[in-house]
Amino acid sequence: MKIHLRQIPADGLHLEGEENCPLSELETGDLHCAGKLRYNLDVGISEGALWANGSLVQPVELRCVACLEDFPHDINVAAFALHMELHGPETIDLTPAMREDLLLNLPAHPHCDRDGSRVCRGATPAKVTEAERQEEEAKREHDWEALDKLRLKR
């Protein structure tokens, strides 16, 4: 998703729409794009930097680690945020940052019954699933920490 800086008025710009799945180059047996990326963003320029925040939803198909069946999943990035120093180029591509945040929000060990809408035929005992879920959550928090540190350095 490319933004031309001259398209952004002084009081910012609201962008809402769909575009091609940014993960299509990364598709594997475990991950398939299942529709377009939906974005809802506010974008603006202040003090020589571009900022953007909003939300992203990317429908995908993931392979369940327990039964090895593909199942639909929406990757939700509820708080997409970006702050980028501007050095010259008049067109800024938000796609790499979007891709990064989508990947960070992918479940590390996807289970097809994670949202309770189906029963996994390879289901592991609930205790194990719960332990894995907590581990996954801890890992995600860790990833966010790493990303926050990265952002502070920028």
Query: What residue ranges bind Zn ion (CB under 5 A)?
Result: 64, 66-67, 112, 120
DSSP secondary-structure letter at 124? P
Burial of 80 (0-12, 13-18, 19+ CB in 10 A): buried
Output the smallest distance, CB 33 to Zn ion, in A.
20
Measure the CA angle with vertex 129, ends 99 and 59; round to 5°: 30
**Residue 119 Cβ vs Zn ion, minimum distance, rounded to whole Å:** 8
Nearest distance from residue 76's CB to Zn ion, in Å?
20
User: Between residues 63 and 140, which has the closer beta carbon with respect to Zn ion?
Assistant: 63
Smallest gap, in angstroms, from Cβ of residue 74 to Zn ion?
A: 17
Identify which of residues 108 and 146 has a Cβ nearer to Zn ion in the complex. Answer: 108
Question: What distance in Å separates the CA atoms of residue 29 and residue 31, rounded to the nearest whole number?
Answer: 6
Question: Judged by CB, which is closer to Zn ion: 1, or 65?
Answer: 65
47: left (phi over 0), alpha (psi -120 to 50) or beta: left
73 exposure class (CB count in 10 Å sphere: 0-12, 13-18, 19+)? buried
Nearer to Zn ion by C-beta: 86 or 131? 131
